[in-house]
Structure 1
Amino acid sequence: MKTQLIDLAKQRRSIYALGRNVTATPDDLTDLIKTNIKLAPTPFNNQTTRAVILFNQAHDRLWDIVHDALRKVVKDDDAFAKTAAKINGFKAAFGTVLFFTDTAVVKQFEGNFALYADNFRDWSEQAQGSAQYAVWTALAENGLGANLQHYNPLIDDQVRAAFDIPASWQLRAEMDFGSIEAPAGDKDFMADADRFKVFK
């Protein structure tokens, strides 16, 4: 059996110690990210996933938005100091991909395919997972680390205003990426017997 995809999957880890020691250009990384999202599967080929790719000041601005939004809800100074350190780690990365779902397309397909209407929102989430995994793995293949965050919906309004996001785009995740400054730790797996059933 060929294992190239498995080998790549092993490289795709949650890397939190990220930096800006990146040789690829923003244009090259943008092409990589866009191509992987376009090739990720979607139900009925409805292509509901959207992305905003941030570099330089735009990347910094996003994590400033996260910092300010969390400062309003984390009142304890000691607790916020830990939160701020975590956010500064994300900000230290080279860039961020904001993943969105275009809810207008979801609603359109709900109307056009009434038999499956109850499924399109779930299917759009599955499409998100496919796109995020594809981008994450492609970044890992190119020697870059990444991690996935979910500060939505806390930051949705501020992000929409800062980056001119259409009203129908719903923020689903934030993926910061950059050079790997420290590796991920060991990964534990639950027992196969608790996770899989095989019938032959």
Structure 2
Amino acid sequence: MQSKFNELSAKRRSIYALGDNITTSPEEIFNLVKETVRNSPSAFNSQTVRAVVLFGKSSDKVWDIVEETLQKIVKDPTAFAKTKAKIATFRAGFGTILYLTDTDIVHNLEEQFPSYAANFADWSEQAIGGAQQAVWTALAENNLGASLQHYNPLIDDAIHEAFDLPESWKLRAEMPFGSIEAPAGDKDYLPEDQVFKLIK
């Protein structure tokens, strides 16, 4: 069997050397993200995933917040210099996607379906993971590089304030994206017998 999806999945890699050498418009990228998230599955069709797509100074603001937050935490100047350099690679991209979960929906489902209440938070994590992979792959299909970062919950309050986001939207990840200025390195895989099992 052949799968175009697997070809695209292999193309999806963590790209850290990002640039803004992109001719695609922000509106086109936003529509790609929007349609990809809308078509991603979620338990009970709960649609708990929220995506905020930022460009220009708004995208830079995310990484300014990250840098300012970590500067208060990382006291060693040498260590912070490395951290600052890493953050600069994210800021160098064309934009940033914030992935959030609408916790109001999660809590409402917990109340509506008490027999499954313990699962809805986990299911929302599955939904956002699926959406992230789908968007990441769609970006790769269009020759855009990206990586997935997790500076939450350290930056949650500042992000919500900066972009006036609803309180119920819980930040789960940040995805800087842009032109691919250098390819990803080789990817290692665990031995197949440690990962897969065929039972007939």
TM over 0.5: yes
1:119 aligns with 2:119: yes
Within-5 A mapping of 1:83-122: 83-122=83-122
CA distance in 1, matches of 2:188, 2:81: 29
Query: Quick one: percent identity of the two aligned structures?
Result: 58
Within-5 A mapping of 1:1-200: 1-200=1-200
Q: Secondary structure at the match of 1:100?
A: strand
Q: Which amino acid aligns with 1:39?
A: N
Q: Cα RMSD between the aligned structures? A: 0.5
Q: Secondary structure at the match of 2:187?
A: coil
CA distance in 2, matches of 1:197, 1:77: 48
| Shift, 1:23, TM fit | 1.1
TM-score (norm 1): 0.99
Q: Which amino acid aligns with 2:118?
A: D
| Shift, 1:196, TM fit | 1.1
Segments of 5+ residues of structure 2 without an aligned counterpart are: none
CA distance in 1, matches of 2:46, 2:173: 20
| Shift, 1:115, TM fit | 1.0
| Shift, 1:2, TM fit | 2.3
Q: Which runs of 4+ in 1 moved over 2 A?
A: none
| Shift, 1:3, TM fit | 1.8
Q: Which amino acid aligns with 1:103?
A: T
CA distance in 2, matches of 1:126, 1:23: 33
Segments of 5+ residues of structure 1 without an aligned counterpart are: none
TM-score (norm 2): 0.99
